[in-house]
Amino acid sequence: MAEFASSGCLFFDELIDEQTNKEFLDDIGHTNIDEVDSVQDFYKNIKATSSIPRIPAGTPLKEAFPKNSPLDKIFKNEVVEGAITSLVGSKTIVDHQFLHITFPTKYFNQANQRQMSQANHQDSTIDPRSTFDVQLFYFPTEVTKEMGGTRYHPGTHLRIVNENAIAKYQNILGQKSIVCKPGTIGIFHSGLWHGAGVNFSENIRYMFKVRLQPTEKQELLWDPEKKYQPLPNRALFWTDETKDQTINDILMRSYPWQEADTNRLDKINVVKFWRLLTGHKKMDVDYWLTRIENELY
Amino acid sequence: MAKRQKVLVLYLKFPSLEAEVISWATFDGTGKKLHMTGDTDTPPYPTGLDALLDGWRLFQASQAIPEHPGEEFRTSYLKHEFFFEKLEEGDF
Ligand SMILES: [Fe+2]
């Protein structure tokens, strides 16, 4: 949870088994690249034949997918279920889902289009809530570097921006792109900055995404026995480097893209986020909030 | 011979050209190179000053805007933005 609070993302490599990945690809009618002519035809075909249902926004996740369908199996995987319950609770609802397909160069050449990557953005719209949604990504096939897997910027999830208004940041220090084996699952905080890369391979790249909303406060959903206790204060600046790394070191991690001044606000916002996730409304890490809350007038 | 503009946008770690580059964008009006999001993981220059030393002309820098009262801790866009240009002559 501390890792998620700090970076805004979690990954589970090769979590989904080969058989389920194959069932998913069969279900969406994954065909040989040579047999597909246009992007539109490809989507039309998948929508007509696959078992991916049309889910009205707000449907409980537990009622969303047909029993024993590949997606049903994926969401019943104990790690996926555990992560979802920890982040958005067991009564989570589906906002939307989409099968993202990134087509290789030949489709752009055929259509006489410029093949460009997707600009950096935050999904949906400006979102100043304390509540957060998660976006679960499922990669049914291998994603190699040249396939242009989803680009993301760890630690950006608590910056409040307006969707595509971050498109001008072409490159951001510390940017990462997903490279993974089949069956990998990623979970993003809904505020994480990201964008799709360019697919320079010969093959189609798939990414199935589901956005989930909580219906309850996201306080200690990950710790039902409510055992979590914040760590006591530690020395600042004149520190003791012999001490072991703790959760607080994860929460206080800096990211290479952060400005010198705003980096401190980013840390403050992680502490505020951790207060919400733990229910410890006065907890602090490294005195960032205690110092400025000591208002005597 | 015609002239074309190349634009380099640098986001720096603090509001001084001596500061390190944390984000960057390039738009090439000569059409020689198509830049796009995510095309390189290494900044073109370590600092803003290095861009000046390589002949880029600064034409815009972000202002310091005081934080809104009550929203001092809200974080949002990258703050320290510097726009540079180079003019290139050629047959385009
Ligand atoms: Fe997106």
Contacts of residue A166 in chain B, CB cutoff 8 Å? Answer: 77
Per-residue CA distances from A31 to A17, A45, A281 (Å): 20, 10, 53
From ligand 1's centre to the CA of A206, what distance in Å? 14
If you measure CA to CA, which chain B residue comes closest to A256? B22
Using a 10 angstrom Cβ sphere, with 0-12 exposed, 13-18 middle and 19 or more buried, the burial of residue A241 is: exposed
Interchain contact A157–B (C-beta under 8 A): no
In this structure, which residues have their CB less than 5 angstroms from ion ligand 1? A 123
Rounded to whole angstroms, the Cα distance separating A73 from A268 reads: 39
pLDDT at A38: 77
Do A207 and A100 form a contact (C-beta atoms < 8 A)?
A: yes
Q: What is the pLDDT along chain A (297 residues), one digit of tens a residue?
A: 999 999 999 999 999 999 999 999 998 887 766 777 777 888 888 888 888 899 999 999 999 999 999 999 999 999 999 999 999 999 999 999 999 999 999 888 888 889 999 999 999 999 999 999 999 999 999 999 999 999 999 999 999 999 999 999 999 999 999 999 999 999 999 999 999 999 999 989 999 999 999 999 999 999 999 999 999 999 999 988 888 889 999 999 999 999 999 999 999 999 999 999 999 999 999 999 999 999 999
Structural tokens at position A7:
């970076």
Residue B38 to residue A117, Cβ atoms within 8 A: yes
ipTM of the complex: 0.97
In chain A, residues 57-96 whose CB comes closer than 8 Å to chain B? none
From ligand 1's centre to the CA of A199, what distance in Å? 16
| Segments making up each domain of chain A, as ranges | 2-213, 228-297
| Segments making up each domain of chain B, as ranges | 2-65+75-90
Residue B75 to residue A265, Cβ atoms within 8 A: yes
| CATH class of the domain comprising A2-213 | mainly beta
pLDDT at A61: 98
